[in-house]
Chains A and B, each alone.
Chain A
């Protein structure tokens, strides 16, 4: 029965993340008047932004979720600086993706194609400009399409980064593959299994290494990328995937975990590349989740542990920005969605500017009066 107990212990951990994942991020209570389509906030950097999608196939390994598929197919969305200001804005997601995502998330307060009408800022298939730019890999949360990090991706591209967002196939409610087939969340079947998170992040690390191989050599615009300046940023299990990918792939020079419980084993010798935890109140030291405390000791290089007071799990994604349109009530006491997006963009960019562009960032040295919501842990953030 010890086996069962171990299983049970695993389950209690996972159940928390797995069972909460599909739940809508905010109260389900419909608002009286859902507003028109959402518009993502304008990027704050100096460059216009282009975007395009790549469909890659890794034939060296079977798909981790569909045992009948002998290769791993991935959709990668790229955002990058361009000269082209005008042109068709890229769709946020397809009507089908919107439908599957809202259905999967249990959001029925709005027409299912609502998210496909979200207005973005990036010009579809615009020609990239620049060369040897720093690259940022983005990895979304469990069940979330990559597009839920579009606001952050567009902003980073406008600041001179190439951004590669990975839709980890079958780990999201909806990913349209190269042949038009829409992959659904096969991983959701086993998300309550003990060891699920640990297995999933190993797969994400493999996805990231493969995507880096392709982007830095096989992609037609690979000279756009400075392969010595690569970082990764992820939200939720994408943040956990960032730790896993950095442990496995030394090409990733720096990483950020946005509010994700971590699963990868950092070797006892430590991880010496720059790393930043950026979390909500759930992730204060000594809180309910031990994983950041555990990993903090093993981060031996430049590191920060920032907690945004009054932020929630989706404050780091577009979900809070589109919540109005979805007819979801904000959770009481949470910071406004636009402020959440601003803080996320500002601190992620500061971290990347410091570590990929060697631009020192006073913002990362301590609390700022402009951003009083940001607490520096463990020193100046209490367990509340």
Chain B
């Protein structure tokens, strides 16, 4: 399940890797000790197996480039890696007497040498497990950073019959997300578990609808004593997981209770719904713009959409719907802020010794001069929170919905490892315009409006309704 460790981070990283790698945003600086690893250039070559040499490269890459690289105790990374190795051995029903941690001194190079010796001694005795052990070791070293924008992308597999835009899974989205299940966002999950969106695939074929309450997943309760259980994770299988999932459902409007078995797979998605920026006029006088990611040029697309709506009507306000917006480019976030205020700092990005770069508004962007409501939820992550916190701190509009993801440690940079896998993590950590930590805490809404299963079933959007009311006041 590491692939969905942090969807938001994924988005940010992929964008960085694919489009902006050669020119990092001005607020980011990659400085010390970049010798161990370089930014990827062009398409990646074919991935090869992970070896101890790759782990070594990653270790020094982290120490040379990661946010707290200059100060962190590297022994904690090696210990986490070795623990994962021993757990994997045990998981396979084995153990190795030599699999003990060597003495570490705090000297990063000497400690690596000691670790490598112990690692080789252990893995040499279980040659059939060598590849798997290398993978879990490196995964654990990266996880030990405890950073939601640190990620090692490897073993990327896609179904052969995948088409551009396809989804994989059961074809549904519930009010509790996979990021809440895997811990990447600390947002609290509230009972009951219910379907919020039917995206396609098995869920659509089985006739599921928004608002359907999921009373059991594979026979297990999703909540016990109001606390979320691991059962919910089964709602979000990733390729190649294909085991059928049984759901017990309740449709509250009719009182019907029934059980369906959904098989994960590829499913076709509505192409229009995949557009990152969509817009329409609401109530004849509100410019509504939904933006699902801060992709390159997204801010300009929002501006274009609003000016197009303005050409036919005179809107009295703007609703920016950023629910489920997984983030992307911090440059785009700052540009979007710039349509509502000039001459301000939108965020700080700080090194571990507190040297901060400032992200500022781009004052060449024309001001919209329209009242603003921003819809947020636990899926608003990373650059989305950069934007939302700026709106709140700079008093640019009102936030409606629920608290954001709190997945904004800092803008991630990508580094290529020798086996053509990509390691990414931030060199700086993000702070809001008031120099407050946004990561994990998230941005609270000015108006708390959660979605209920009753509203979902009736197709009502209470957060949007609240936003329209606020703009019409």
CA distance A190 to B291 in the complex (A): 12
CA distance A3 to B177 in the complex (A): 9
- A288 near B: Cβ within 8 Å? yes
Are A1 and B8 in touch, CB under 8 angstroms?
A: yes
Contact code string A143-182 (vs B, CB < 8 Å = 1, else 0): 0000000000000000000000000000000000000000
CA distance A4 to B3 in the complex (A): 12
CB-defined contacts of B236 to chain A, threshold 8 Å: 2
CB-defined contacts of A4 to chain B, threshold 8 Å: 7-8, 10-11, 292-293, 324, 326, 379, 381
- A13 near B: Cβ within 8 Å? yes
Are A5 and B14 in touch, CB under 8 angstroms?
A: no
Interface-centre pick from B44, B274, B326 (highest chain A CB count, 10 A): B274
- A104 near B: Cβ within 8 Å? no
**Which of A14-22, A125-133, A301-309 participates in binding chain B?**
A14-22
Name the residue on B nearest A199 (C-beta). Answer: B271
CB-defined contacts of B276 to chain A, threshold 8 Å: 7, 190, 192-193
Contact code string B291-319 (vs A, CB < 8 Å = 1, else 0): 01101110011001000100100000000
CB-defined contacts of B274 to chain A, threshold 8 Å: 7, 10, 193-195
- B160 near A: Cβ within 8 Å? yes
CA distance A2 to B3 in the complex (A): 11
Are B177 and A263 in touch, CB under 8 angstroms?
A: no
Are A192 and B296 in touch, CB under 8 angstroms?
A: yes
CB-defined contacts of A195 to chain B, threshold 8 Å: 164-165, 269, 271, 274-275
- A361 near B: Cβ within 8 Å? no
CB-defined contacts of B14 to chain A, threshold 8 Å: 8, 11-12, 15
Interface-centre pick from B19, B44, B311 (highest chain A CB count, 10 A): B19
Q: Tell me which of A2, A192, A290 contacts B295 (CB under 8 A).
A: A192
Min CB–CB distance B35 → chain A (angstroms):
26
Name the residue on B nearest A286 (C-beta). Answer: B46
- B135 near A: Cβ within 8 Å? no
Are A189 and B162 in touch, CB under 8 angstroms?
A: no
- B401 near A: Cβ within 8 Å? no
Are A196 and B164 in touch, CB under 8 angstroms?
A: yes
Given A5-B10, A7-B292, A190-B19 contact (CB < 8 Å): no
Min CB–CB distance B34 → chain A (angstroms):
23
- A294 near B: Cβ within 8 Å? yes
CB-defined contacts of B18 to chain A, threshold 8 Å: 11-12, 15-16, 19, 192
Given A13-B164, A189-B304, A195-B274, A5-B7 contact (CB < 8 Å): yes
CB-defined contacts of B43 to chain A, threshold 8 Å: 16, 288
- B427 near A: Cβ within 8 Å? no
Name the residue on B nearest A265 (C-beta). Answer: B163
CA distance A16 to B44 in the complex (A): 10
CA distance A15 to B328 in the complex (A): 13
- B161 near A: Cβ within 8 Å? yes
- A293 near B: Cβ within 8 Å? yes
Name the residue on A nearest B167 (C-beta). Answer: A6
CA distance A16 to B276 in the complex (A): 17
Min CB–CB distance B270 → chain A (angstroms):
9
Q: How many residues of A contact B (CB 8 A)?
A: 36
Name the residue on B nearest A384 (C-beta). Answer: B46
Are A1 and B185 in touch, CB under 8 angstroms?
A: yes
CB-defined contacts of B295 to chain A, threshold 8 Å: 11, 192-193
Contact code string B180-207 (vs A, CB < 8 Å = 1, else 0): 1000110000000000010100000000
- A197 near B: Cβ within 8 Å? yes
Given A3-B173, A67-B308, A189-B301, A8-B7 contact (CB < 8 Å): yes
CA distance A75 to B19 in the complex (A): 31
Interface-centre pick from A68, A195, A199 (highest chain B CB count, 10 A): A195
The A29-62 residues at the B interface (CB cut-off 8 A) are none
CA distance A5 to B407 in the complex (A): 14
Are A2 and B164 in touch, CB under 8 angstroms?
A: no
- B179 near A: Cβ within 8 Å? yes
CA distance A293 to B160 in the complex (A): 8
CA distance A265 to B163 in the complex (A): 8
CA distance A293 to B159 in the complex (A): 12
Contact code string A225-269 (vs B, CB < 8 Å = 1, else 0): 000000000000000000000000000000000000001010000
CA distance A1 to B381 in the complex (A): 10
CB-defined contacts of A335 to chain B, threshold 8 Å: none
CA distance A26 to B36 in the complex (A): 29
| 16 other A-B residue contacts (CB within 8 Å) besides A1-B381, A4-B293 | A1-B4, A2-B169, A4-B10, A4-B326, A5-B4, A6-B168, A6-B199, A19-B18, A19-B19, A67-B308, A192-B19, A192-B297, A193-B274, A196-B165, A202-B271, A288-B44
19 pairs from A and B in contact (CB 8 Å cutoff): A1-B8, A3-B292, A3-B324, A4-B7, A5-B3, A7-B11, A11-B11, A11-B295, A12-B17, A14-B164, A189-B300, A190-B276, A190-B277, A190-B301, A193-B274, A195-B164, A195-B165, A265-B268, A293-B160
